[in-house]
Amino acid sequence: MAVTRTKTWIAGEVLTASDLNTEFNNVLSNGESLGFPATTSKDFDGQELILDSDADTSITADTDDRIDFKLGGVDLFRFDGTTASLVNGLDFVGSIATADVAILTMGSDTNIDLDLQTKGSGGVFINGVLVATTQFADNTGFDDDSGNEYIRFQKATTAVNYFDIFNAATATDLVIAAAGDDTNIDIDLQGKGTGRILANGSVVGGQAYKSYHFASFTGSSGTLFIAGYYDLAAADLNLTQASTTGTHGAVNVPYGAHALLVAAAAGAASGGATGTADITVSGTSVTDAGVRTGSDTEIIVADVTAMSTDEYFETGKKWIGQITYTIAATGDHTTFNADFNVGFAKYDDFGNQDFTVTEFEAVGDAGANDSGFDVTLCKHVADGWSYSAAAFGIPTGNAIASMNTVYSTEKDIDSGVDFAFKRTGLTTAITGSGEAATGVPNGVLIMIESTANGAVERMDCHVGVKFT
């Protein structure tokens, strides 16, 4: 508080020693109150303002444009404004109950960063967790806004190898690469427990097995299939502008297979200036998700003039019931034609995944004597097909493992006698997602050949694959 007068003097009054002593004593006894409350600015001129009784806590501005806070005799906090033309700073904001206190950047700039800098190799910690640094303590990382872990980093003793993670420009791939001192560095992705590694929902590098059962009924012989089939028309179709359609299959039969086409040669399109001719498959389609479309179409050949001899085409869709192949001009051509074989193809592509066949096994019991019996694991690919005007048949050269090829002489099955065939170490790659050149998915199917009716009482076949 301010110093008050002890007496108000009037003109002509005699100044006594007592009154004078009282006034001086008032000033001397209340010296701390002189000049307060302040009525003008106080200029400390760089002098120290001491705050505690032992004189080791103070505020001073002995450096121009910088305020130092001393605690315990040491300058521990500074407000530094020595940089020229400053316009931005910090607000320290308190809070009401249950609300957060805040440290805010403020100033004339629209966007203002907050840069926390340590000395030397020191780090920044929040709630005891090291942040804002390129170094992480062992078993630390990033958490989400609920405190749940996003990622954790684990330290290896004397580590020399690490990951490089690259961003990407338009139409290029993101890359996670092994890097470090070693010349060759593996990347080991590990699931927890029985967990697997997946890419786009598909198991990567996992081993899988499928089993199929077969029994030949009375009166059956010839070439049969399990894990798929081929239903092929022996005679070809010859479509022209005068006869534009041909069919395959029977009405209401649940084929559930892809439509196929094998060309005799390049087709022709003439009599106009634009376009060419295409071939469309139409009928009832069905998806693996169980969606049936009653009147569906798909172009199986986009340009008949680009076909080549024995070239294989296949629809992406699967069909049930009878299907129709239709040739039509895509421009103003008036004359066009194409000769080709048709049929259905069904095979196992393990869910349109890429894989390598590693094992095949067949175990059965003969129902009749058969010296012409064979069981073969085959691959379904676009190669090996041959056009025939009247005797179109299954492709050749696509065997992965054949009992007769391996057993040679000891290949006859006898009625009531068990038989078995197994191959391991197979390395045939199957592109179940579709060949790069043709787009045709690959798969596997098992071919059983017999020359005696009822040759197989029962047979189980097992196929082992490794997903790639």
Cα distance between residue 176 and residue 464, in whole Å: 30
84 and 111 housed in the same domain:
yes
* Structural domain includes residue 427: yes
Domains contained in the chain, number: 5
pLDDT of residue 45: 83
User: Which of 360, 400, 361 has the alpha carbon at shortest distance from 380?
Assistant: 400
Give the tokens for residue 58.
Answer: 């103070």
| Residue ranges for the chain with pLDDT beneath 50 | none
Cα distance between residue 353 and residue 203, in whole Å: 9
351 and 467 housed in the same domain:
yes
Residue that terminates a domain, selected from 344, 359, 377: 344
429 and 354 housed in the same domain:
yes
pLDDT of residue 341: 98
465 and 352 housed in the same domain:
yes
451: CATH: 2.60.120
256 and 404 housed in the same domain:
no
Residue 261: exposure state from Cβ atoms within 10 A (0-12, 13-18, ≥19): buried
243 and 324 housed in the same domain:
yes
* Structural domain includes residue 70: yes
Cα distance between residue 308 and residue 169, in whole Å: 39
Give the tokens for residue 373.
Answer: 């019996």
362 and 458 housed in the same domain:
yes
* Structural domain includes residue 22: yes
pLDDT tens digits, one per residue of 175-200: 999 999 999 999 888 888 877 788 77
pLDDT of residue 40: 78
pLDDT of residue 219: 62
* Structural domain includes residue 186: no
Cα distance between residue 161 and residue 138, in whole Å: 16
pLDDT of residue 458: 94
Residue that terminates a domain, selected from 317, 344, 371: 344
Give the tokens for residue 215.
Answer: 């029994």
pLDDT of residue 292: 98
23 and 61 housed in the same domain:
no
The residue range of the domain holding 77 is: 52-115
> H or E segment at 40?
none
Residue that terminates a domain, selected from 324, 344, 364: 344
359 and 338 housed in the same domain:
no
Distances from the Cα of 38 to the Cα of 2, 23, 43, 45, angstroms: 9, 22, 12, 17
340 and 237 housed in the same domain:
yes
* Structural domain includes residue 147: yes
134 and 67 housed in the same domain:
no
205 and 351 housed in the same domain:
yes
* Structural domain includes residue 122: no
* Structural domain includes residue 441: yes
* Structural domain includes residue 461: yes
